[in-house]
Structure 1
Amino acid sequence: MPFAAHCLSGRTAIVTGSTQGIGLGIAQALANAGAQVVISSEDAQAVASTIAALGDAGHKVHGIACDVTDGDALAALVGETVTRFGGLDILVCNAGITGEAGSWALDDFDRVIAVNLRSIVALTTLAIPHIAAAGGGSVILMSSLSALRGNGAINAYALAKAGVAQLARNLAVQWGPDNVRVNALAPGLIATPLSEPLMADGDFMARRMQMTPLRRVGTVADVASASVFLASPASSFITGQQIAIDGGTSITDGS
């Protein structure tokens, strides 16, 4: 981790979808950098096991089960965090679902938009005033490489993630005068359990690696390190940006 271990000391962070994969990696990285981290997922048992593991590692963590599509649960997530830790400095909106591949079925579309975009609008509306009241801080929204290009397989997901990037820009303009920075991360292919089927597909991987200048799959640590950067004073003059963490996939034609 290219940051001092104490660079987020005294800061409080909420990370949604943080019991596995990228969200867990981000939570661990923020904790390693000194933040006190609220772990959140709709799975209460997974939240409990995650905070136990992080607590055993010496980190200051708290767990709050939360379905991000439930407005009351989101209000409780923010309220309990502020009550327990006295404020909020960092928000990472990571929870998301992919939806049905290739589908424009409206029920699936509504579900994907509700989890991946509407919930972020609702959570940032609740959380950012507290971040501003604390003197400012950082909001990190999880977008995707799919938001930067056309995609015939994960239609609603890509559309929602493009909306997340625009939300980051809008919120950055709205809250910048209060010293709240809002940015989006756009991971490409990252090695997680969810991406294992793609990584097991030889034809897909051959095409993807040809399209990726760094010729490798990203790691959770790649995304987590970028999150610590955006949460820390090292990025104090960066806001309203969508940063691709994709090994260059988005900037090449594959030649």
Structure 2
Amino acid sequence: MFDLSGKVAVVTASTKGMGLAIARALGSAGAKLVISGRSQETADAVAAQLRQESGVEIVPLACDITDPASVQRFATDALNAFGRVDALVLNAAGNPPAGSMLGQTAEDFERTMRDGVRGSLALVLALAPQMIERKYGSIVFMSSRAAKRGTGVLGLYGMSKAAIDQMVRNLAIELGPSNINVNSINPGAVRTDFSRMLWADPAREKMVVSTIPMGRIAEPEDVAGLALLLVSNAGHYINGQNISVDGGNTA
């Protein structure tokens, strides 16, 4: 049920952290991979590492999710790499501004929504038509616990992720009749560079962990397992869901 042999998976922002863990999991399950990094050199280095680990067939590409032209080039090259895309995992996002919502500018809002929502939607618009034509596919967005809870320090980020979660529900209705499932993963605190401020300081990590029933911050592999489920036959009937991976924090 979890075998991805013969399938093609595209994972954006997959040279480190959760994206790398997801790419590694899908490749280990047999998928051919297209991965992306901000630079071609970084993507090439990670591809070489993954090939050495498991012999996975992989095409590395550069993609800057904040640059519409880069996104379009990536979509074209990703589709041409193996002639189709069966699974699309949208892990890339920009760096959101931190601080009070009351202190954000119009430019902050536009940049957050552009980098956090528009780039991923552009990839769906480019890659979903061939899924529709073949009546098969899976799309997974990387959202956040911040989409489901209020925050005094990452308000615009939470808004952009809430927009992602709503986009998932809309696309699930539109693409479901074509046998395409669309879902989002909502991680809590994960030990990645992106969330370093939550765990780099031992005192801060202790405070964060105190709110998690399972008593630890997630590792990237905790998120990768759900991504594998959602793009495999085991989870193909799961559609339109925003699934938390947070050790029980939301509960």
TM range (shorter): over 0.9
**In 2, are the aligned partners of 1:87 and 1:134 still within 8 Å (CA)?**
no
**In 2, are the aligned partners of 1:139 and 1:231 still within 8 Å (CA)?**
yes
Task: For 1:237-248, list aligned pairs within 5 A.
Answer: 237-248=237-248
TM-score (normalised: structure 1)? 0.91
**How far apart are the structure 2 equivalents of 1:223 and 1:15?**
13
* Deviation at residue 202 of structure 1 after TM alignment: 4.1
Q: What residue identity is the alignment partner of 2:157? A: Y
Task: For 1:1-255, list aligned pairs within 5 A.
Answer: 7-57=3-53, 58-102=55-99, 103-251=103-251
Q: What residue identity is the alignment partner of 1:231? A: V
Q: Taking structure 1 as reference, are residues 234 and 158 closer, same or farther at Cα in structure 2, changes over 3 Å only?
A: same
**How far apart are the structure 1 equivalents of 2:63 and 2:51?**
20
**In 1, are the aligned partners of 2:66 and 2:94 still within 8 Å (CA)?**
no
Post-superposition CA distance 1:71-107 (Å, at most 9, x none): 3332322222222312110001100134221051232
Q: Taking structure 1 as reference, are residues 124 and 200 closer, same or farther at Cα in structure 2, changes over 3 Å only?
A: same
**In 2, are the aligned partners of 1:88 and 1:134 still within 8 Å (CA)?**
no
**In 2, are the aligned partners of 1:93 and 1:142 still within 8 Å (CA)?**
yes
Deviates more, 1:44-53 or 1:104-113: 104-113
Post-superposition CA distance 1:175-214 (Å, at most 9, x none): 1000010000000001112323321334433332232111
Q: Could you list the runs of 5+ residues in structure 1 that have no partner in the other structure?
A: none
Deviates more, 1:185-194 or 1:99-108: 99-108
Post-superposition CA distance 1:134-164 (Å, at most 9, x none): 3311100010000000011112111100100
**How far apart are the structure 2 equivalents of 1:78 and 1:96?**
16
* Deviation at residue 44 of structure 1 after TM alignment: 1.8
**How far apart are the structure 2 equivalents of 1:80 and 1:202?**
43
- Number of aligned residue pairs: give it: 247
Query: SS at 1:247's partner residue?
Result: coil
**How far apart are the structure 2 equivalents of 1:95 and 1:177?**
27
Query: SS at 2:56's partner residue?
Result: coil
Q: Could you list the runs of 5+ residues in structure 2 that have no partner in the other structure?
A: none
Q: What residue identity is the alignment partner of 2:61? A: I
TM-score (normalised: structure 2)? 0.93
**In 1, are the aligned partners of 2:65 and 2:94 still within 8 Å (CA)?**
no
**How far apart are the structure 1 equivalents of 2:107 and 2:69?**
23
Query: SS at 1:24's partner residue?
Result: helix
Q: What residue identity is the alignment partner of 1:245? A: V
Aligned-residue RMSD, C-alpha: 1.6
Q: What residue identity is the alignment partner of 2:77? A: E
